[in-house]
C-alpha cells in the first residue's frame, strides 16, 4: 500500500523543459499564453534567444504532452514536431519563425 | 537501363546515409565527474532524425554534410545546439537548468527605455544615459531626461532641486534599491549625496506608483539601483575637473571572495576650493565644498538555494561654505561684517537586504529589507541657525506568489518605519517622533498580450497621520502593435518637513511664521493628494527607422497641503490649504533614430500648477508654464579594438516663470511679475579608447546665459530685503570640464 501511494503520488509542481521555435516577444506571449491556458499549468517561461521553454504544472491535472499539443495548436513547432500548416498560418506575419528573412530581421534585437 | 539509373541515383544516398556520428552526453557538475545522461534527446535541427542516449550516455546518429546543427536536450537541463562541421566523436556536457531568472544582457540597448508591457508608466535610465552628462551626483543625472526638471533651489548653496509633474522632490518618493532614502533631513541636499558613478540604473515611475514602498509618494517614484559587487568592474576610476574649481574622484574596487560572496568598496571625494564671483555681486557664484562619501557592499549569491543578500554600509561627510567672497567662517560667523553660510552634514547608514526565491517554485519569493540611517546637519545662513538630527529605521517584508498561474501575481507584506526629528531653528527646538506600521497587498494581472493591471492597497497606522488606506491602480492596454494606453490613479499622504524641505528660506531675511495650531506636525496637518494620469505610447517606423511618441497627462489634486507662502517679501508662512491646490501637466515626447548611431529626443511640457494662497489663487512661484527640451546623441561604430566617439547635446528652453510678490518692497528691491525666458545648451564629447579607458570633455551652458542679479539686497545682506530664493537661471555662466574613466572588468 505504502509503496503504491509513493509511486502514484504525483507532484503539484512538476517541472519540465522543452524547446519551442519562435522569434520574438510576440511569439513569447503566444507560446506562454498557450501553456498557461492549459488547465494545471502554473508557470511558463520561454526564452527568445535559447528557445527554451520552462514549465511548472500540476501533474494531477495535466501533462507535458497536453501542453505541447496546445503550443502546436497555437502554431509553434515543439522540438521536432511541426505545427500544422493551418496553425502556423494563424501566426502573425512578423512572427513567421520558419522564414529565414523573418529570422534575420530579429537577430539584432 | 532504367534500373541502373535508379541505382546510380540511390547509391550516393545510401553511401551518405551509412555515415554516422557518435558521442557521449554528460551532466555538467562542479567536480567534473563523468556522469552519463541517460535518455537525453539528440537530433539534427529541423529534421526528423534523432535518437536518445543509452545507459552510458552514448548515442549514434546518421550524418550527412547538410546537417550542421545538432540539438541536445533533456528535461531539467538547458537545451544546447552545437554546430557540426565534420564527422567526429562528440563529447558534450549539458548544463542543469538554473531556476533563478538570469539577467540577460542585450548587446544593443537604448539608453532610456520605455516599456510597452508594464502597467505602470516607467522609464528606465541605464548607466549609458547617465554618462551623457558627466553627472557627478544623482541631482545632475536627470539633465537629459525631459520627465524630470532640474533647477537651482537658491542662489547661494548651489543645490539643485528636481521636479516631476510640476511638483518638487518632497512629493516624489525617492528610493535607493527600493529603500526610501531621500527624505526627511536629507530632502534638500540628499540627491548630491549619491555619486553618479555608484548608480547602475534609475527607474522613474510617473503617477501613483506601487504601494509596496510606502504611502508617501504623490507625483511619482524614482528608484536608483546602485552598482553591485558581483557585476561591477573589478576596478573603476573616474576623475573629473571643472573650470568652476570642482574636482571629483571616484574609485570602485570589487572583489569576489568566494563563489558566493563578493564585496565592493566605493570611495567618492569631491572638492571645490576656488572662489568665483563672475557677476561681481560680492557673493560666491558657486559654494566651496568638500565631500567624502564611502560605501561598502557585501553581496551573497547562492543560485542553488535561491538566496541573494546585500549588506551596505555608508558614511558621508559634507561641508559647504557659501556667501560673500570675503567671508571667513572663523572670523565672521555670528557677526554682520560679511554674510556667510556653512552647512556641515554627517550621515551614517546601514542597510540589509535578503531575497529568497524558492528554487523549485520560481514564483514564490520572499524579500526582507531593513535600513537604519542617522543624519546630522549643523548649519547657519548669515544669522539664522538651523540644525537637524534625523534618525530613521525602515523595515519591509514582501512575499510574492501567484493565484492559479503566473498571469495572476500577488505581492503582500508588512512594513515598519520610525523617524525621530530633532530640529533647532534659530532659538526654537522642534522635536517629533513618527512611527508607522502597515500592511499591503498588490495584485497584478497580465494577460501576456493586450492588457495588464496592477491594483494595490495598503493600510497604515501612523502615530501622527492616523490610520488610513492608500489605494493605487495602474492599467495598460495595447490594442494594436507597439502601442500602450495607460491610466493610473492613487492616493498619497505625508507629513511635511517644513524646515528641512524649505531650507532656502534661511538664506533670506524673511520671518518664519507657522500660521496654524492644532495639527499634529508642528501645528500643521498631513498633506493628502490624489494623482490621476493617462498616457499613450506609440512606436512606429518613420522612413524605415524606429521612432516613438508619448503623450502624458497627469493631474495631482491636493485635499490638504502645507502651503509655503512667499507672497509677502518680509516673511515665509506655512499654513494648511484652504481651497484648492493642483498640478496639471501635459507632456509630449518624441524619440527617433534616423540612422545608425544617432538618437534624437524632443519634448514639450505644459504645466498648470496653482494654489489658493491667503492672497488668492496663484501659479506656484518659479514654475514655468512651458518647457521645451531636445537632445541629440551620436555614436560612431565600435571598432574591433573597442574604440568609439560619443557626442551628446541637450537644449532646454524654459518659458516665463512667476516671481513671488515683491510689491511691498522699496522700489530698488522690487522684481517684475515674471522672469524672462531662459535657454541653455550642454554638450559632451567622449572618446573611448578601449573597454578599459575613455576620456570626456564637456560644456554646460555653453551659450553663457546668466541671471543678472540672482540675489536681492546684496548691498545690505543683513537688511530686511535680503533674499536668495529668486533664482530662475544659471548663475555661473558657461562651465567646461574634462575627465577620464578607467576600468578593469
pLDDT, one tens digit per residue, over B205-249 is: 999 889 998 999 999 999 999 999 988 899 999 999 999 889 999
For residue A46, the enclosing domain spans: 13-107
Contacts of A79 in chain B (CB under 8 A): 41, 43, 73
Nearest CA in chain A to B407: A36
Which of B46, B51, B358, B406 is most worth mutating to test chain A (most A CB atoms within 10 A of its CB)? B406
The string of pLDDT tens digits covering residues B415-465 is 999 999 999 999 999 999 999 999 999 999 988 778 889 999 999 999 999
Question: Could you please report the per-residue DSSP string of chain A?
Answer: -HHHHHHH---SSEEEEEEB---SHHHHHHHHHHHHTSTTEEEEEE-TTT-EEEEEE-TTT--HHHHHHHHHHTT--BTTBPPPHHHHHHS-GGG-TTSHHHHHHHTT-
- pLDDT score for B100: 32
The string of pLDDT tens digits covering residues B536-563 is 999 988 888 889 999 999 999 999 999 9
Is a pLDDT exceeding 90 seen at residue B272? yes
- What is the residue-level pLDDT of chain A in tens, covering all 109 positions? 344 444 445 678 888 889 999 988 888 889 999 999 999 999 898 988 888 898 999 989 999 999 999 999 999 999 888 888 888 988 888 888 888 777 777 664 4
- pLDDT score for B3: 56
From A98, A54, A66, A97, select the one nearest B79 (Cα to Cα): A54
From B74, B65, B84, B68, select the one nearest B41 (Cα to Cα): B74
Size of chain A, expressed as the number of residues it contains: 109
The string of pLDDT tens digits covering residues B461-491 is 999 999 999 999 999 998 888 889 999 999 9
B102 falls in which pLDDT band (50, 70, 90)? very low
Residue A1 in domain: no
- Is the minimum CB–CB distance between A39 and chain B shorter than 8 Å? no
Q: How far is CA B503 from CA B157, B302, B343, B506, B613, in A?
A: 10, 45, 11, 6, 20
Residue A4 in domain: no
The string of pLDDT tens digits covering residues B484-538 is 999 999 999 999 999 999 999 999 999 999 988 889 999 999 999 999 999 999 9
Residue A6 in domain: no
Q: In this predicted model, which residue has the larger pLDDT, B255 or B29?
A: B255
- pLDDT score for A4: 42
Percent of chain B with pLDDT over 90: 67
Which of B154-163, B164-173, B334-343 has the weakest average pLDDT?
A: B154-163
Residue A5 in domain: no
Contacts of B109 in chain A (CB under 8 A): none
Q: What angle (nearest 5°) sits at the alpha carbon of residue B715, between those of residues B709 and B717?
A: 95
The string of pLDDT tens digits covering residues B674-724 is 999 999 999 999 999 998 999 999 999 999 999 998 999 999 999 999 999
Q: In this predicted model, which residue has the larger pLDDT, B417 or B364?
A: B417
Is a pLDDT exceeding 80 seen at residue B632? yes
Set out the domains of chain B in order of their start, with CATH numbers: 20-94 (2.60.40.1120), 112-224 (2.170.130.10), 225-367+385-398+405-744 (2.40.170.20)
Is a pLDDT exceeding 80 seen at residue B659? yes
Residue A77 in domain: yes
Scanning A45-74 for CB atoms below 8 A from B yields 45, 49-52, 54, 56
Beta-carbon separation of A13 and B75 below 8 A? no
Residue range B392-404: average pLDDT?
A: 94
Q: Which residue has the cell 548544463?
A: B95
Nearest Cβ partner for B361 among A13, A54, A80: A13
Nearest Cβ partner for B362 among A36, A43, A79: A43
The string of pLDDT tens digits covering residues B115-155 is 676 777 787 877 777 777 666 788 888 888 889 998 888 88
- pLDDT score for B114: 67
Counted domains in chain A: 1
> Contact at 8 Å (CB) between B595 and B623?
no
From B505, B464, B739, select the one nearest B621 (Cα to Cα): B505
Is a pLDDT exceeding 60 seen at residue B16? no
Which of A101-105, B144-148, B347-351, B576-580 has the weakest average pLDDT?
A: A101-105
- pLDDT score for A10: 66
Residue A35 in domain: yes
Nearest Cβ partner for A17 among B43, B97, B407: B97
**A–B interface: beta-carbon pairs under 8 A:** 64
Interface predicted TM-score (ipTM) of this complex, two decimals: 0.76
From A73, A87, A77, select the one nearest A53 (Cα to Cα): A77
Percent of chain B with pLDDT over 70: 93
CB neighbours of B80 closer than 8 A, spacing ≥ 6? B71, B72, B73, B92, B94, B95
CB neighbours of B310 closer than 8 A, spacing ≥ 6? B177, B228, B297, B298, B299, B300, B351, B352, B353
Alpha-carbon distance A104 to nearest alpha carbon in chain B (angstroms):
16
Q: How far is CA B7 from CA B1, B14, B551, in A?
A: 10, 10, 71
Query: For residues B139 and B217, what is the distance between their CA atoms, to the nearest angstrom?
Result: 18
Side-chain-facing half-sphere of B470: CA atoms under 13 Å: 31
Residue range B196-206: average pLDDT?
A: 91
State if pTM tops 0.90: no
- pLDDT score for B10: 46
Q: What is the CATH number of the domain that holds A46?
A: 3.30.70.100
Contacts of A55 in chain B (CB under 8 A): none
Is a pLDDT exceeding 80 seen at residue B317? yes
Nearest CA in chain B to A16: B75
Alpha-carbon distance B550 to nearest alpha carbon in chain A (angstroms):
21
Beta-carbon separation of A15 and B75 below 8 A? yes
Is a pLDDT exceeding 70 seen at residue B7? no
Alpha-carbon distance A96 to nearest alpha carbon in chain B (angstroms):
15
Beta-carbon separation of A43 and B402 below 8 A? yes
CB neighbours of B532 closer than 8 A, spacing ≥ 6? B207, B488, B489, B554, B555, B557
Alpha-carbon distance B489 to nearest alpha carbon in chain A (angstroms):
27
Task: Look up residue B452 and give its three cell numbers.
Answer: 495588464
> Contact at 8 Å (CB) between B71 and B81?
yes
Beta-carbon separation of A33 and B447 below 8 A? yes
Amino acid at each position: 500500500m505504502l509503496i503504491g501511494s509513493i509511486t502514484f503520488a504525483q507532484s503539484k509542481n512538476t517541472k519540465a523543459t522543452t524547446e519551442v521555435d519562435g522569434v520574438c516577444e510576440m511569439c513569447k506571449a503566444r507560446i506562454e499564453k498557450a501553456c498557461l491556458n492549459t488547465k494545471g499549468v502554473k508557470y511558463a517561461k520561454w526564452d527568445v534567444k535559447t528557445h527554451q521553454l520552462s514549465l511548472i504544472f500540476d501533474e494531477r491535472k495535466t501533462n507535458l504532452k497536453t501542453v505541447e499539443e496546445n503550443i502546436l495548436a497555437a502554431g509553434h513547432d515543439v522540438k521536432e514536431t511541426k505545427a500544422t500548416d493551418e496553425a502556423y498560418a494563424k501566426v502573425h506575419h512578423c512572427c513567421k519563425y520558419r522564414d529565414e528573412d523573418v529570422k534575420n530581421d530579429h537577430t539584432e534585437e | 537501363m532504367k534500373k541502373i539509373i535508379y541505382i546510380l541515383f540511390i547509391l550516393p544516398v545510401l553511401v551518405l546515409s551509412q555515415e554516422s556520428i557518435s558521442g557521449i552526453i554528460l551532466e555538467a557538475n562542479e567536480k567534473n565527474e563523468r556522469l552519463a545522461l541517460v535518455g537525453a534527446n539528440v537530433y539534427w535541427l529541423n529534421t526528423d532524425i534523432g535518437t536518445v542516449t543509452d545507459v552510458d550516455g552514448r548515442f549514434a546518429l546518421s550524418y550527412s554534410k547538410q546537417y550542421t546543427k545538432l540539438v541536445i536536450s533533456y528535461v531539467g537541463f538547458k537545451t544546447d545546439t552545437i554546430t557540426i562541421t565534420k564527422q567526429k566523436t562528440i563529447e558534450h556536457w549539458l548544463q542543469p537548468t538554473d531556476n533563478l531568472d538570469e539577467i540577460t544582457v542585450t548587446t544593443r540597448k537604448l539608453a532610456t527605455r520605455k516599456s510597452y508591457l508594464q502597467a505602470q508608466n516607467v522609464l528606465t535610465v541605464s548607466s549609458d544615459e547617465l554618462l551623457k552628462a558627466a553627472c557627478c551626483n544623482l541631482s545632475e543625472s536627470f539633465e537629459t531626461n525631459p520627465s524630470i526638471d532640474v533647477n537651482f533651489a537658491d542662489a547661494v548653496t548651489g543645490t539643485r532641486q528636481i521636479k516631476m509633474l510640476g511638483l518638487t522632490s518632497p512629493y516624489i518618493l525617492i528610493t535607493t534599491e527600493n529603500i526610501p532614502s531621500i527624505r526627511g533631513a536629507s530632502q534638500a541636499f540628499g540627491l548630491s549625496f549619491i555619486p553618479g558613478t555608484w548608480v547602475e540604473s534609475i527607474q522613474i515611475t510617473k503617477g501613483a506608483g506601487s504601494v509596496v514602498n510606502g504611502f508617501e509618494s504623490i507625483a511619482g517614484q524614482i528608484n536608483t539601483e546602485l552598482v553591485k559587487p558581483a557585476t561591477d568592474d573589478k576596478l573603476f576610476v573616474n576623475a573629473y575637473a571643472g573650470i568652476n574649481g570642482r574636482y571629483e574622484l571616484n574609485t570602485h574596487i570589487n572583489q569576489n571572495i568566494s563563489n558566493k560572496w563578493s564585496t565592493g568598496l566605493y570611495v567618492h571625494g569631491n572638492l571645490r576650493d576656488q572662489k568665483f564671483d563672475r557677476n561681481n555681486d560680492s557673493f560666491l557664484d558657486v559654494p566651496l565644498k568638500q565631500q567624502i562619501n564611502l560605501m561598502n557592499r557585501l553581496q551573497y549569491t547562492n543560485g542553488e538555494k535561491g538566496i541573494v543578500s546585500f549588506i551596505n554600509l555608508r558614511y558621508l561627510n559634507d561641508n559647504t561654505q557659501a556667501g560673500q567672497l570675503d567671508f571667513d567662517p572663523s572670523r565672521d560667523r555670528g557677526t554682520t561684517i560679511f554674510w556667510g553660510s556653512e552647512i556641515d552634514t554627517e550621515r551614517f547608514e546601514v542597510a540589509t537586504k535578503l531575497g529568497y526565491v524558492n528554487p523549485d517554485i520560481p514564483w514564490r519569493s520572499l524579500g526582507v529589507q531593513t535600513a537604519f540611517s542617522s543624519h546630522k546637519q549643523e548649519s547657519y545662513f548669515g544669522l539664522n541657525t538651523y540644525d537637524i538630527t534625523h534618525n530613521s529605521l525602515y523595515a519591509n517584508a514582501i512575499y510574492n506568489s501567484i493565484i492559479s498561474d503566473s498571469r495572476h501575481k500577488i505581492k503582500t507584506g508588512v512594513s515598519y518605519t520610525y523617524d525621530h526629528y530633532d530640529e533647532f531653528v534659530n532659538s526654537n527646538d522642534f522635536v517629533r517622533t513618527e512611527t508607522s506600521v502597515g500592511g499591503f497587498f498588490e495584485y497584478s494581472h497580465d494577460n501576456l498580450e493586450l492588457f495588464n493591471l496592477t491594483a494595490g492597497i495598503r493600510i497604515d497606522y501612523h502615530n501622527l497621520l492616523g490610520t488610513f488606506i492608500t489605494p493605487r491602480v495602474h492599467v495598460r492596454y495595447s490594442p494594436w502593435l507597439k502601442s500602450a494606453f495607460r491610466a493610473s490613479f492613487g492616493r498619497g499622504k505625508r507629513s511635511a518637513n517644513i524646515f528641512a524641505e524649505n531650507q532656502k528660506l534661511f538664506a533670506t531675511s524673511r520671518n518664519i511664521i507657522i500660521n496654524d495650531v492644532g495639527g499634529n506636525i508642528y501645528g500643521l496637518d498631513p498633506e493628502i493628494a490624489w494623482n490621476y494620469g493617462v498616457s499613450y505610447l506609440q512606436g512606429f517606423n518613420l522612413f524605415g527607422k524606429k521612432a516613438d511618441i508619448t503623450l502624458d497627462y497627469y493631474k495631482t489634486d491636493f485635499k490638504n497641503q502645507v502651503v509655503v507662502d512667499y507672497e509677502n517679501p518680509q516673511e515665509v508662512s506655512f499654513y494648511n490649504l484652504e481651497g484648492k491646490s493642483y498640478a496639471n501637466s501635459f507632456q509630449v515626447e518624441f524619440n527617433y533614430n534616423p540612422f545608425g548611431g544617432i538618437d534624437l529626443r524632443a519634448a514639450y511640457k505644459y504645466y498648470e500648477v496653482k494654489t489658493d494662497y491667503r492672497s488668492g489663487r496663484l501659479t506656484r512661484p518659479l514654475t514655468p508654464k512651458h518647457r521645451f527640451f531636445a537632445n541629440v546623441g551620436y555614436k560612431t561604430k565600435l571598432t574591433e579594438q573597442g574604440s568609439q566617439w560619443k557626442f551628446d547635446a541637450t537644449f532646454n528652453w524654459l518659458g516665463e516663470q512667476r516671481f513671488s510678490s515683491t510689491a511691498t518692497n522699496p522700489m530698488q528691491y522690487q522684481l517684475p511679475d515674471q522672469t524672462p525666458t531662459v535657454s541653455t545648451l550642454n554638450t559632451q564629447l567622449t572618446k573611448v579608447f578601449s573597454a578599459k579607458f575613455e576620456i570626456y570633455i564637456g560644456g554646460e551652458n555653453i551659450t553663457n546665459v546668466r541671471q543678472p542679479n540672482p540675489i536681492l539686497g546684496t548691498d545690505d545682506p543683513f537688511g530686511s530685503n535680503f533674499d536668495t530664493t529668486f533664482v530662475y537661471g544659471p548663475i555661473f555662466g558657461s562651465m567646461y570640464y574634462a575627465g577620464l574613466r578607467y576600468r578593469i572588468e
